Amino acid sequence: MNANSPIWITNFKTYEQSVNENAIQLGLIHEKVAKETGKNVWCAVNAIDLQATADIILSPVLAQHVDGIEYGSHTGHIHPATVQNAGAIGTLLNHSENRVSFEALQAAITACKKYELKTIVCAESPAEVAKFAELKPDMLAFEPPQLIGSSDISVADEPELITQSIEKANGIPLLVGAGINKPADIRTALDLGAQGFLVASAIVKSDNPEATLRLFLTEF
């Protein structure tokens, strides 16, 4: 991993293009691009495909969620130890599509620290960034709702949200998780002080994920 490069995380979600065998193939694309560019490229993979993907690709793999639980009667939950054993280096938490209570988030971060898993906590406002920063996650990902899935507006249209969130993060690295529609948005966010990106459909649903990923990474 290049310590001087921002972090790029592609969230595979559960698109048809990124589950089952497609998860592995998309992961291999990310590994290839990371190796050839020297950039930090990570993949957040669904719980079922996590181990199969981590076993094959060299790029860091994240879970999309874990629960703050100990061993026991927790049907349907995801134990952080199983995620670690599957080969993940960390997990997303509180994604906009899977938000949890503050108490559940706190428990998950505590459990992840026990198993040495990195935590990337998603927040939808500068106020949430400040609140979640108190829990000392490894990174925060800023996902303003008005920018999620929008092709009409980007971080360039609301730069003050990024600068406010970076200030509220209190030194914890801030990733931008919405409003990245074109390579120029990468440069805008980096110039504002962002230290990485959490992106999904722009890569996963692209007709050519490899070419699109390379295009975005040219701004790193």
3-class SS of residue 114: helix
* The one-letter amino acid at 120: I
Exposure b/e, 169-198, CB count within 10 A at least 16 = b: beebbbbbbbbbbeeebbebbbebebbbbb
First to last CA, the chain: 14
Q: Please say whether the beta carbons of 62 and 90 come within 8 A.
A: yes
Q: Given the structure tokens 């592995």, which residue do they identify?
A: 24
Q: Please say whether the beta carbons of 61 and 53 come within 8 A.
A: yes
Q: Please say whether the beta carbons of 39 and 2 come within 8 A.
A: yes
Q: What is the dihedral of CA 127, 128, 130, 131, to 10 degrees?
A: 120
Copy the structure tokens of residue 166: 């970076």
Residues labelled catalytic: 95, 143
Q: Given 3-state DSSP classes, what are the helix, strand and coil percentages for the chain, each rounded to the nearest 5?
A: 40, 15, 40
Q: Please say whether the beta carbons of 31 and 59 come within 8 A.
A: yes
* The one-letter amino acid at 168: K
